[in-house]
Amino acid sequence: MTQLSRRGTRANKAVYFTTLIIISLSLIAGSQSGLLAPIEGVLAVPLNAVTGVLTTAALRLSGQVADLAEVSSLQERNAQLEEALVRLQSEVTELRELSSDYQRLAGLVDYTSTARGQEFLAADVIAAEQAPLRTIIVNRGTRDGIQVEMPVVTAQGLVGRVIEVQSNASRVQLVTDPSSAISARLLTTRAEGTVMGQVSGNLEMTFIPLGARIEPGDLVYTSGLGGNLPPDILIGQVTSSREGLDLYQVAQVRSLVDFPVLEIVLIVTNFQPVDVTAFGQVGN
């Protein structure tokens, strides 16, 4: 019974396989002869639609993958550009500092070459009082031969005088200090007076003779009277003037030195103050 069933199953498979072959060959022949063209046209419509949807989805997926790859590449490139920008900004800042230092030093060198009979020692400003600015600290002291009353200058003019000295540092009283008084004269008329610091941080030239002509823009220099400073050091420039108590004239003077940003100064090391009080004279 079992053998008969197996033989019947094998026979059925052979018949089924033969039938499929015959149908396939018939379909091929009908397709080639054009008999199945109407049926193929009907079936092609849904198949083409499905194929279009699948193709569109594949293209979108491919585009998204490409977009992701491009975004990743752009992010990496952006990070590289930002890193390069940081380096360039650092280099630009350093170059600006070097250029600024060069300009300051070049100005000091030009000043020392034109100043006659004076010897200088450059010093860095290492500390300053808070506003109002009255004194600064420089990194030169007794080890460098610095002494009290030595003048301190820049290429823009007089900064002040050394008032305190330690082994490796000195305190400089600025010309803008209210307790500072400097004998001065106008360049154009040679009229003399005294330049004094103000609480506001400005300068004022007092005791100018009433008959002296004062014009805005006049330069004010040290006169050397009193023996405390050498002559012909630029102090500043007149901005305005007025009469004071009908006894003398007063001029407002603007220093050309930018005190809040001082970094390098020159100390006049070969100047020796003269005490003129021994001759019965009192002056600055």
Identity (one letter) of the amino acid at 228?
A: N
Question: Which CATH code for domain 120-273?
Answer: 2.40.10.350
- Residue 148, pLDDT > 60, answer yes
**Does pTM surpass 0.85?**
no
% of residues, the chain, pLDDT over 70:
65
Cα separation, 123 vs 118, whole angstroms:
16
Section 111-135 average pLDDT: 81
- Mean pLDDT, the chain, rounded, equals 81
- Residue 29, pLDDT > 60, answer yes
196, with CB counted inside 10 A (0-12, 13-18, 19+), is buried
Give the pLDDT of residue 79.
82
More confident residue, 268 or 31: 268
For 188-239, how does the pLDDT look when each residue is reduced to its tens digit (9 = 90+)?
999 999 999 998 889 999 999 998 999 999 999 999 998 889 999 999 999 9
Q: Please tell me the least confidently modeled range out of 90-104, 200-214, 263-277.
A: 90-104
Cα separation, 257 vs 159, whole angstroms:
7
Give the pLDDT of residue 283.
47
pLDDT-derived band at 273, boundaries 50, 70, 90: confident
